[in-house]
Amino acid sequence: MIRQLFAATTLAVGVGVALAPVAAAQAHVPLPGFQPASESFVTPLDPDAWRPAPKWIIASPFGTVDIYCASYKSTICYQLDPAGNRHDLTSLNAYIPRLWVLNPVQS
């Protein structure tokens, strides 16, 4: 009796594991008011970085991918690292116009 119960339980667990759906990561949903803005940034080594242009320069180890910005009276931006963690971007307008740097602390 115990063997049959154990066999049935093992079979049920095995079938459940085999038929379980594969977990997938959910795509990032920007915070309310934020829009994708990666195309508005260039890296310091990009040829267009130091020419008069409407693009911002970003100093980030993650390049120009996964950047989101919102604007009202000022512009607020953040960037996602490869693991999906959010990092705020800080503008250095008072020192170097159009330069943004990544805050390494997750927000």
Percentage of the residues of the chain whose pLDDT score is greater than 90: 41
Contact 103, 89 (CB under 8 A): yes
- Tell me what pLDDT residue 50 has: 80
Q: Residue 84: which region, alpha, beta or left (left: phi > 0; alpha: psi -120 to 50)?
A: left
Sequence ranges of the domains in the chain? 28-106
pLDDT at 74: 81
- Residue 67, pLDDT score: 95
pLDDT tens string 1-42 = 777 765 666 666 666 556 556 555 566 767 788 999 999 999
For residues 57 and 48, the model is more confident at 57
